[in-house]
Amino acid sequence: MINAVVNQIRKGFFQDWAVCGFNDDTGLGGMAVDIRACLGVGYQLVVPSERLTSKITNPLTDRWLPKDASRDYIKSTISSLKGIILLERANWHPELLSVAQEMGIHKVCVPMWEWFNGNSPEWKLVDLFACPSAFSEKIVQSYGFRNTCQLTWPLDLSKLPNRHVRGPARHFIHNSGLVDHDDRKGVRDTIIAFSRLRRYDVRLTVRLQKEVPLPPADSRVNVIIGNIDSPYELYSVGDICVQPSKMEGLGFMVLEPVCSGMPVITTDYPPMNQYVHHPELRCKTRWFRRKAFPSNWIKHAHLRLPNIRDLTRRMAWAATNDLQPISTYNRQWAEATFSHDSLRSAWKEVLMANLK
């Protein structure tokens, strides 16, 4: 018994756990990389990618979980695990949760509030919802679940630059990735608001993964189309990011630049405003009729549009004031919040208290 305890301490609490999700270059794929790097999760159940090419990075720790896997295959795949952390979804495989329950393996889910449909029966098999924000926990609890906790998402700071921005903003950055039908990242709002900024000593760089129709812009705006290899490249230039998102789950496009030490202008609505601690950079919202996505009709999947006039005002403030205090604060907050040791300790403590 003593040897088993000593061995568990040496290996780390999460060494015999697996994260379940994609291993690709999508946001969910990046989340799997983060949680393994920060918490020391030993394995990944790799589900086939829906949009990109799946990767098996390490055959010793990456375990393939095809959609047509049998119960016997799943049993043999997860037999050595103590727990599984599911990213966003409970239905990565229709048999996974029931097999894990039968085998006494813990099942923890990190829910994304905007896609969480609490009426789906598979959620009842989850032992604990590890919510990355107070807003996320509120949504999960609104469906009657009480097996919830709030835990900081384990963001890996080593993949981000350590920026020290000084002086007023002269180079504004907007990262939008793939622009969807609702323009959730607010690229068009950013361009319109910047175009109304009556200064000609500033410029805006917009990064997109694919070309989309955009509002007319003057010579101060530069649009770059293409993929970036790493988050480091996204935040290694520029004085301030403008990310007036209409809706976010975790909000990496806001959180990552903040953690890099960059000031960020964003929408004054959760979870975006939880990362931007200076009210001068939080943009007011404006009224919008449609509140939910009609295709899925998830009642709480609502959009909050930025007020264009106020967004321009926030940009003007950033172009006038020294941003060094905000830059310094952001990086210090990130280093205190996302230390690997403190994250592992917090997650371990909460899981041990809630999982029997």
CATH architecture of 12-155+339-354: 3-Layer(aba) Sandwich (3.40)
More confident residue, 26 or 78: 78
* Domain spans in the chain, listed from the N-terminal domain onward: 12-155+339-354, 159-336
Nearest-5° Cα angle at 311, 308 to 316: 130
pLDDT tens across 113-156, in order? 888 888 889 999 999 999 998 889 999 999 999 999 999 999 99
What was the pLDDT predicted at 180? 81
Pairing label, strands 128-131, 171-177: unpaired
**Strands, E, within 186-312: which ranges?**
203-208, 221-225, 240-243, 264-267, 282-283, 285-286, 305-306
Q: Kindly report the average pLDDT of the chain as a whole number.
A: 90
Sheet holding 282-283: strands in order across?
Answer: 221-225, 203-208, 171-177, 240-243, 264-267, 282-283
Evaluate whether 12-155+339-354 and 159-336 have a shared fold: yes
Q: What is the mean pLDDT of residues 254-269?
A: 97
Q: Could you tell me the sign of the dihedral formed by the alpha carbons of 9, 352, 100, 53, in that order? A: negative
Q: Is the pLDDT of residue 231 over 90?
A: no
| 159-336: CATH number | 3.40.50.2000
Q: How many residues does the chain have?
A: 356
Pair 215, 193: CB distance under 8 Å:
no
Q: Where does the chain show beta strands of DSSP type E?
A: 17-21, 43-46, 62-64, 83-87, 106-110, 128-131, 148-150, 171-177, 203-208, 221-225, 240-243, 264-267, 282-283, 285-286, 305-306
As a whole-number percent, the residues of the chain with pLDDT over 70 amount to 93
Average pLDDT over residues 215-222: 95
88: left (phi over 0), alpha (psi -120 to 50) or beta: left
Q: Which amino acid is at 303?
A: L
